[in-house]
Amino acid sequence: MGHTIQRNVKEVLDRIRAAAERAGRSPDSVRLVGISKTVGPDAVRAAFEAGVRVFGENFIQEAREKTNVLSDLPVEWHFTGHLQTNKAKYAARMFHLIHTVDSLKLARELDKRANIEGKVQDVLVQVNVAGEAAKWGVDPAGAVELVREAARLPNMRIRGLMTMPPFSDDPEDSRPHFQALAKLAREIESLAIPGVSMAELSMGMTNDYEFAVEEGATLVRVGTALFGERR
């Protein structure tokens, strides 16, 4: 298992580097987030040993167990799943960055919980750039509003945007969504809202991360290409 993961990590990092270079970007401007949902601690440890320094979890309970077992690893844990307001407490406790803030209600609850934890919570706003019937995320206009409102919360820091395009067999189909997210981030940046940074663009998964890097991703969320098919 360890050898396969090591080979996979190397290949993904090589591909990220190549895509960054094609786009005239520094490879250091892109971080690989190993999406470790349903993946056991030993596999996470193997990915760490191969060079992954950020892991993304989608389920609070699973993450609580895993981060406990792996508390010795000097890694960042990110939350990349849909976050229910009633789990905000745990999310603020465990995660360096939450990629999936998509409502003011959730932002307010995270702000409150971050205050209790004595931290400032870094978050991304999840945008449904396609505006189609995707499950989660705010539409682009809603994202601007949400950023404006959430920017006023004292224990929260908006670091950028995240998107998850509708699944397609052809990764080229994701490109316009990635371009739209990058454009929206530039628009929000130009509003110069105090305390808001658009430093991070979380986009790209196993089937389309190279396209995402070409379009400006700073965080690519890759699971299957590292750990194999999920059961």
The residues binding ligand PLP (CB under 6 A) are 35, 37, 58, 80, 164, 205-206, 221-225
Kindly tell me which of 1 and 116 has the beta carbon lying closer to ligand PLP.
Answer: 1
Taking Cα atoms as reference points, which of 63, 61, 37 lies closest to residue 227?
37
Crossing angle for the helix pair 2-22 and 41-49, to the nearest 10 degrees: 50
Q: How far apart are CB 159 and ligand PLP at their closest, in Å? A: 16
Report the SS3 class of residue 103: coil
User: For ligand PLP, which is the closer residue by CB, 153 or 164?
Assistant: 164
**Comparison of 197 and 207: residue with beta carbon closer to ligand PLP:** 207
**25 three-state secondary structure:** coil
Q: Which residue is nearest to ligand PLP (CB)?
A: 223
Q: Least distance to ligand PLP from the beta carbon of 8, Å? A: 11
Q: How far apart are CA 140 and CA 183, in angstroms?
A: 10
Q: Kindly state the smallest distance separating residue 206's Cβ from ligand PLP, in Å.
A: 3
Looking at the Cβ atoms of 37 and 112, the one nearer to ligand PLP is 37
Q: Which residue in 44, 160, 37, 152 sits closest to 98, CA to CA?
A: 160
Q: Which is nearer to ligand PLP, 50 or 164 (CB)?
A: 164
CB of 118 to ligand PLP, least distance (A): 28
Compute the least distance from the CB of residue 58 to ligand PLP, in Å: 5
222 close to 33: Cβ distance less than 8 angstroms:
yes
Nearer to ligand PLP, 153 or 178 (CB): 178
Per-residue burial over 8-47, b = 16 or more CB atoms within 10 Å of its CB, e = otherwise: bbeebbebbbebbeeeebeeeebbbbbbbbebeeebbbbb
Minimum distance between the CB of residue 100 and ligand PLP, rounded to whole angstroms? 7
Least distance between ligand PLP and beta carbon 169 (Å) = 13
Residues 82 and 88: their CA atoms lie apart, in Å, by 11
- Which residue's CB is nearer to ligand PLP, number 153 or number 174? 174
Which run of H or E residues covers position 213?
helix 209-214
d(CA 20, CA 105): 36
